[in-house]
Structure 1
Amino acid sequence: MNRHSAPSRPVRTPARGKRAAWLLVPLLVLGAGFYAWQHRGAETAEGAYRTVTVDRGDIRVGISATGSLSAISTVDVGSQISGQLTEVLADYNDRVRKDQVIARIDPSTYEAQIAQGAAAVANARAALATAEAALRNAEADYTRKSELVGRQLVARSDADLARAARDQARAQVQAARAQIEQQIASTRTAQLNLDRAVIRSPVDGVVLTRSVEPGQTVAASLQAPVLFQIAEDLSKMEIVLAIDEADIGQVRAGQGVSFTVDAFPDRQFRGEVQQVRLSATNTNNVITYPVVVSVDNADQSLLPGMTANAEIEVNHREDVLRVANAALRFRPDEGEIAAPATGGGAGGGMQDALPRIAASLGLDAAQQAAFDAALERLQAQRASRQAAAPSAEGGGGRSVLFGGGPGGRPPAASGSGGMSGAMRQRIQERFAQQFADFTALLDDDRKARWNAAIGALLGARRAPLYLLRDGTPVAVMVRVGASDGSFSEVSGPVAEGEVVITGRTRSAP
């Protein structure tokens, strides 16, 4: 018996399902291709440039210089007289007190002069006694002859001769007295020289140098020879730094100074700028100014004459937005980056900086309220100006507070901040008007600090910065602040974490 199995029935796909499947395939292929092309373009753009990231950190700006340590007060002890040193009673590093005897000169010459002067004084006194006796005789003779003239017993000429003799005797007495004073003065000079034969320390201090030995002859004919050099107080010392004229404008009294010495290479010492002297020095057409730095040397570890490698801290910015200096030096080729520059290089960054400036002033509640109101008015005016000019300046809404360049390429960095002096003056006047109610509440010190900070903001240098956003290079104008040689403070249309171009890895497409 033949058994036949039932034939299987084929599964049929509806026609509508087939059409939908065939339509999805090309769409998926196109989408995948577009995604790959887009990401490949971004990776290509990213791979064409070297980049860094904008971050936050501290920037410390310093001026380096070298100088020698010295005592604040160093006294050169010399001799006012000539003679042979019989004793030298102080040596190197000895501590001496004021008026302490530190050397003696042979006094025999001056003792002899004193004895000679005493004899001359005695002789002058004897001459005075003789003159006084002669005066008494002359006066008596003149008195007698004057009476006899009245009686007409002697001639009047005899009375006149007696009067002349009296006057001469009086002059001789005056001369003898003057001779005594002269001899006493001469003796006093010899006594002073005898006192000067004992050399005493003029101050309390430490003997740094001793230039003489016992038995040595000192000649003080033209100038006082230096026998000892005494440092008055080594617990306080100073460094005199030679600062170049290009940097001296940043140095102020009270700025902190850090320095090292070769004797303690692993130790950092601190000092403070005490004085900026006005006496310029010209060395091979290089102008430098001396800056005096005071140093606390309580532990006596620093010694006079040590060479100090110092750095004056002229600016210190904490927790600021910063970027590597290489990013500020990068310049693209013409047409390489066609993205439009964004505005706000002077305005947005400035409005971000104003609250920080106000916070540094330590405002009270009334002053803070006045500042907040002024800042709110400033932001409202900025918004209204941007709304009035939506696209006239490349979509940036440029005003007097904003910078930017035409054609998507920011202007080159400028030391004047990309603004003319007249523009900066107008902006400063506008700020003075907008914040008049706020500044009226400030005392003189806070007002001076506010005005200085605003002036620094307006005078800050502007520079183009080239960001890499979503794989596309974008040019923006930022305000450049303090720089330590590796990083620079920036503000404007840039945020922490953004990628910034510093150079090319290969030719950009």
Structure 2
Amino acid sequence: MKRKTWIGFGGGLLAVVGVATYFAAKPKEEVKWRTVKVDKGNVTQRISATGTVNAMVQVAVGTQVSGVISALYVDYNSLVKKGQLIAQIDSTVWQTQLQDAQASLLRAQAAYDFAQADYDRSKRLAADKLLADQDLDTKVTALKTAKGNLESAKATVDRAKANLGYCNITAPVDGVVISRLADVGQTVAASFSTPNLFQIAQDLSKMKVQISVDESDIDQVKVGQRAFFTVDSLPEKQFMATVSQVRLEPITNSNVVTYNVVMEVPNEPLPGSEHPQGPAETDPEKAWERAKDRLPEGTTKAEFLARFKARMAERAKATASAAPRSAADRLAAARTPGGAGLVGGPTFSGNLALRPGMTANVTILTNQRKDVLRVPNAALRFNPAAFMKEDKKPEASARPGGQARPAQRPGGSASGMVARREDHVWILENGKPKAIPVKAGISDGQFTEVSGEGLQEGQAILVGVEEPKNASNTNGARPLGGPRGMH
């Protein structure tokens, strides 16, 4: 019985050893690499930012004198011409100051005339040796003093006239009133600053977009580069723009440095609006150049110019009939409740797509390379060493792509080193990954331009590994912080 027990125990032990030997000798499943081919194509580099749409020239119109606003002749959306009267300040106080200055001028003139006559008389007496030189010097001084007082009085009159003129506020440019900041009867004080009454956009047919670009990207932005943007009111419409200015002024906010970039964009009519109306165009040739691409097919220049001149004549007639004919009429109209007198002139129709203050989602095309070798960005990030056994891992000298090697000083010391990026892609050679050094160029977020010896179009490079069907996402190496096969 004892012998049989030992025989059975020995047989079981041999079976266990045999099974263990079999599984130990069984080859492990090889890593299945995912590859893509190096191809040729275009790579376009972009910068995205958010900015604000505004008119090319937007002027704040204020008052240089204090007082009560007695009249307003324009309202929101009013079309104005340079020099047109748009508001008035009550001039009673300033008219009184002018009268007082004129009275002072009369007194100064009389004093000067008397001093001049007294000097002439004293000069004749001094010539006959009937007046001492000292007395003559006194007369000369009195004459110069009187002349100075006269000049000062003249300057005071000029200043009073200027202040009185400032009570009439005129438009500094042709354009559209986009903001009115005061009402009739409101008191404005110009003691320490100039109160703004209106904002006038000079020309809404051409707009500008101003964005802030981070200091890390600003060197990529150049004048003349193309850009496109969308606005929230027309999310499906893309507007084309051109970079017109890259400002040197740094703007620091919360330790973040940005620079302003300005782009120009022609305004466009709203969808379904055939004829955009902005500030009135008076030059027929300019109107033709602006509208010829949007006119119905077959429209000739002569036909357009004839219709244009007819519209201009009708507009001039309507403006003349609607405008108040006297200052009293204008003042009465401006004081009418509800502002009925503020919209008597031509107004902006509002059928242009871009309006001041809109938010623009901008993309600038900073660089483009055509027909170049390119690889997916994942190929430059991939590190095959994490998926290989220790005895089969690449040598340390290969330095997997994306790692940094210290840049040594001339003496060979690595102290005080500065990180220097070395990019690689990986190929399979005899079934094992091999690193190929490459020089990375621009990237569009999906592909990166590459160049280097040993790299050619159609060559297969590694971008990841195939995930086994029965493998769990919680197991295995994750060289880039994600599940295997996803890099």
TM-score interval, normalised by the smaller of the two chains:
0.5 to 0.7
Matched, 1:178 2:148: yes
Q: TM-score, normalised by structure 1?
A: 0.60
1:483 alignment partner AA: S
- Mark the CA change 1:184 to 1:83 in structure 2 (over 3 Å): closer, same or farther: same
The CA distance in 1 between the partners of 2:251 and 2:135, in whole Å, is 72
Q: Among residues 486, 492, 505, which one is paired with 2:446 in the alignment?
A: 486
Greater shift in the superposed pair: 237-246 or 73-82: 237-246
Matches within 5 A, 1:210-359: 210-299=180-269, 300-333=352-385, 336=388
Q: Deviations over 1:240-291 (max 9, x none)?
A: 2222222223222222212111111001112222222222222222222222
Query: Structure 1 pair 279/169, CA: closer, same or farther in 2 (3 Å)?
Result: closer
Distance 2:394 2:447 in 1: 28
Change (3 A) 1:56 1:408: farther
Aligned to 1:475: 434
- TM-aligned CA deviation for residue 461 of structure 1: 5.2
**Partners of 1:143 and 1:499 in 2: how far apart?**
114
**Cα gap change, 1:289/1:67 in structure 2, threshold over 3 Å: closer, same or farther?**
same
Q: Rate the CA distance shift 1:69–1:160 in 2: closer, same or farther, 3 A.
A: same
Number of equivalenced pairs: 350
Aligned twin of 2:401: 413
Tell me the SS of whatever aligns to 1:288: strand
Give the CA deviation at 1:192. 0.9
- Considering fraction of residues, name the structure with more helix: 1
Map 1:86-97; keep pairs closer than 5 Å: 86-97=70-81
Change (3 A) 1:204 1:421: farther
Q: Hey, what's the Cα distance between the residues in 1 that align with 2:236 and 2:35?
A: 35
2: CA distance, partners of 1:136 / 1:250:
78
Change in CA separation of 1:80 and 1:49 when aligned onto 2, cut-off 3 Å: same
* Greater radius of gyration (CA): 1
- Distance in 2 between the 1:93 and 1:138 partners? 69
2:51 — aligned with what?
Answer: 67
Q: Deviations over 1:353-400 (max 9, x none)?
A: xxxxxxxxxxxxxxxxxxxxxxxxxxxxxxxxxxxxxxxxxxxxxxxx
Shift of 1:83: 1.4
**Residues 174 and 314 (structure 1 numbering): CA distance in 2 closer, same or farther, change over 3 Å?**
closer
After TM superposition, list the pairs within 5 Å mapping 1:374-393 onto structure 2.
none
Cα 1:244–1:421 change in 2 (3 A) is farther
Contact persistence 2:178–2:199 (CA under 8 A): yes
Q: Is the 8 A contact 1:62 1:313 kept in 2?
A: yes
CA distance in 1, matches of 2:427, 2:122: 116
2:45, 2:366 within 8 Å by CA — same for their partners in 1? yes
Instruction: In structure 2, give the amino acid aligned to 1:207.
Output: V
Asked whether the 8 Å contact 2:37–2:457 carries over to 1, the reply is: no
1:191 equivalenced with 2:185 (yes/no): no
TM-score normalised according to structure 2 size = 0.63
137 and 245 in structure 1: CA distance in 2 versus 1, 3 angstrom threshold: closer
- Structure 1 residue 104 corresponds to structure 2 residue 88: yes
SS of the equivalent of 1:174 reads helix
For residues 436 and 248 of structure 2, the distance between their equivalents in structure 1, rounded to whole angstroms, comes to: 39
Alignment-derived partner of residue 505 in structure 1:
467
Does the CA-based 8 Å contact 2:381-2:401 persist in structure 1?
no
Cα distance in structure 2, aligned partners of 1:295 and 1:182: 52
Q: Quote the residue 1:463 is aligned against.
A: 424
Structure 2 portions without partners, runs of 5+: 1-26, 270-351, 411-419, 469-475, 478-487
Identity %: 37
- The CA distance in 1 between the partners of 2:421 and 2:450, in whole Å, is 10
State the secondary structure of the residue aligned to 2:248.
Answer: coil
Work out whether residues 53 and 208 of structure 2, in 8 Å CA contact, stay in contact via their aligned partners in 1.
Answer: yes
3-state secondary structure, aligned to 2:228: strand
How many Å separate the matches in 1 of 2:394 and 2:265? 54
